[in-house]
Chains A and B, each alone.
Chain A
């Protein structure tokens, strides 16, 4: 029982992190109908900026954090302005989405080259402490991920539903042409979405590399990629779906790993495939994802 509880806490914590990354994919999709496969590279880039600032240049975490968030947000806006916007005139969203796959490979190659064989730590304030409650021990960083993740998700939803900009973004998601006739600047909506996606990815990345993970190395990108099935499970055009999808992916991964000995017939390391199997099952039943409206087929 204690084992299950600790797995649930850890799965929810990991799920909140995936949800942050998935939310970035969803917000870009909503604002421009482009699926951003480069989200893992934004995460790697921003997290690398933070980790190298703290472990190579001796900056404190609280100085490095805004630097990394800003760096990823700026990179994301540049991608939107310089590359994705060129596809917008002809509405070639499929081509733009595929372009982001290539971009992801290129950017990851560069961050991998810089990281090399190092394992960089971010000097985050949670350290290696373990919190004990209800007979289980959970890393403080995991609790922090859950709390900060939940907080960011709530703030994001408030922003999307209360602010003037949120209304503009939801209108753009529904009908870009009419939105622009209302005086909404589609380019600005899209750039903002990319900036927010970049910033969210870094927040998630910092928790992925926190204890008990050893730190930032090149394997983190595979973890980040699991946000993609999370976004698709929830429905690419639903922010609520991104949160639900993130939690499902996080829980499935932790539970499959935790009960690995009972699932030995699936082979070792099946937890890495579990999110994708989950995605396939969900898509078979609901092609638009759990909360999605537009079918993912359209992209």
Chain B
């Protein structure tokens, strides 16, 4: 996997004073934190704390009422989703939204769409530089698929993938966009213990081998505390604390916010949260 060592290093993500309101409800209230390049930064909090809203801001779906989000200094707020992808922000989904009508390889090639050259008709006319660009795209897709151990799935229709493999392919698709910042929305949701261990190793390798900044939303505390350099705790749309895992675990305010009030509800929560 030496080829991945040459990937551009991860981006610094600076979220400052981001506020999102829906019809009087404040989903995010002056949220501020910074994820350092090449680190794994987790965002945790009870249900409804604003994690999904934050991800939707970071991928350009929600326009916040105020605040700024910078990816290596470039402002992200106000950009259409496809331009956010262009800034180097990749996203894997909680429910692994594969395009069921496409093969796994086509799903991954989609991630390369913006990186291809030659446009619509070039592809139809099979111009030489398009063929080269397409060959490169397929090679890159295979490389990413091998990195995540899903290369044997490439020719299959995405609709046929079992849930766990769909999650891995979804992650591969996000990586195929060559992100500098990777947003992972509950990558271990609904997985067995041994699958969670594999997910943990994969995320660690993405950060260490590819030096991509990873922003992680996850409910599994063992996973979060085991791999994150920094953890931001959200509650009722506000940042309770940002710090290293051992500090977060020991913090009284976090225990009150996270375990005290919502801990019980959290345990009862069914594993599939409504899609964000």
A-side residues, CB < 8 A to B, are: 159, 163-168, 170-171, 173-175, 177-186, 188, 192
A184–B59 Cα distance when bound, in Å, is 13
Chain B residues, Cβ within 8 Å of A179: 99, 110
Complex CA distance for A299 and B120, rounded to whole angstroms: 28
The 5 closest A-B pairs by CB, nearest first: A183-B114, A183-B85, A163-B123, A180-B81, A165-B120
Shortest CB-to-CB span from A121 to chain B, Å, is: 31
Contacts A/B (CB < 8 Å), 22 sampled: A164-B109, A164-B113, A164-B137, A167-B113, A170-B106, A171-B99, A171-B101, A171-B102, A171-B107, A171-B110, A174-B99, A174-B102, A175-B99, A181-B59, A182-B113, A182-B177, A183-B82, A184-B82, A184-B110, A184-B113, A185-B114, A188-B120
A166 to B123 CA separation, bound complex (whole angstroms): 9
Instruction: Give per-residue flags for B110-124: 1 if the beta carbon is below 8 A from chain A beta carbons, else 0.
Output: 111111100110011
Inter-subunit contact A180/B101 (CB<8 Å): no
Asked if B111 contacts A164 (CB within 8 A), the reply is no
Alpha-carbon separation in the docked complex, A177 to B91 (Å): 12
Query: CB of B97 within 8 A of chain A?
Result: yes
In the complex, residue of chain A having the shortest beta-carbon distance to the beta carbon of B107: A171
Beta-carbon contact of A192 and B120 below 8 Å: yes
A184 to B120, CA, bound (A): 12
With A164-B134, A167-B113, A182-B110 given, name 20 new contacts (CB 8 A). A163-B120, A163-B124, A164-B137, A165-B124, A167-B102, A167-B106, A167-B109, A170-B99, A170-B101, A170-B102, A171-B106, A178-B97, A180-B81, A180-B82, A181-B61, A181-B85, A181-B91, A182-B85, A183-B86, A185-B82
Q: What chain A residues lie within 8 Å of B106 (beta carbons)?
A: 167, 170-171
Q: Whose C-beta in chain B lies nearest to the C-beta of A165?
A: B120
Say yes or no: A178 contacts B93, CB within 8 Å. yes
Interface size class of B (residues with CB under 8 A): 20 to 34
In the assembled complex, B80 has its CB within 8 A of some CB on chain A? yes
Set of chain A residues within 8 Å of B60, measured between Cβ atoms: 181
How far apart are the CA atoms of A189 and B118 in the complex, in Å?
15
Q: A167: nearest residue on chain B (CB-CB)?
A: B106
Chain A contact surface mostly:
helix
User: B131-170 vs A: 1/0 string, CB under 8 Å?
Assistant: 0001001000000000000000000000000000000000
Of residues 39 to 97 in B, which have CB atoms within 8 Å of A's CB atoms?
59-61, 80-82, 84-86, 91, 93, 97
Partner of A183, one of B111, B134, B137: B111
Contacts of B120 in A (CB 8 A): 163, 165, 188, 192
Residues of B within 8 A of A174 (CB): 99-102
- The B contact surface, by secondary structure, is helix
Q: CA of A250 to CA of B80 in the docked complex: distance in angstroms?
A: 44
Q: Are A167 and B110 interface neighbours, CB within 8 A?
A: yes
Closest beta carbon of chain A to B78's beta carbon, Å = 15
- Name the A residues within 8 Å of B93 (CB-CB): 178
C-alpha gap A180/B99 in the complex (Å): 13
Q: Is the CB of B100 within 8 A of A177?
A: no
B173 within 8 A of A: yes
B116 touching A178 by the CB < 8 A rule?
no
A-B contact count (CB 8 A): 83
| Chain B window 19-46, contacts with chain A (Cβ cutoff 8 Å), 1 for yes, 0 for no | 0000000000000000000000000000
Instruction: Give min CB distance, A188 to chain B, whole Å.
Output: 8
Contacts of B100 on A, CB cut-off 8 Å? 174
Most buried by B among A164, A165, A177, A186: A164
Residues on A with beta carbons closer than 8 Å to the beta carbon of B113: 164, 167-168, 182-184
Q: For A186, what are the chain B residues with a Cβ–Cβ distance below 8 Å?
A: 82
Q: Please determine whether A180 and B91 come into contact, CB atoms closer than 8 angstroms.
A: no
Q: Which B residues are in CB contact (< 8 Å) with A159? A: 123-124
B99 near A164 with CB under 8 A, answer no
With both beta carbons as reference points, the residue of chain B lying nearest to A176 in the complex is identified as B81
Specify which chain B residues have a CB less than 8 angstroms from the CB of A163 in the assembled complex.
Answer: 120, 123-124
Which of B101, B124, B173 sits near A182, CB closer than 8 Å? B173
Residues of B within 8 A of A181 (CB): 59-61, 81-82, 84-85, 91
Roughly how many angstroms separate A159 CA and B126 CA in the complex, as a whole number? 10
Indicate the member of B59, B100, B124, B134 with the most A CB atoms within 10 Å: B124
CA distance A164 to B84 in the complex (A): 20
Name the B residues within 8 Å of A173 (CB-CB). 101
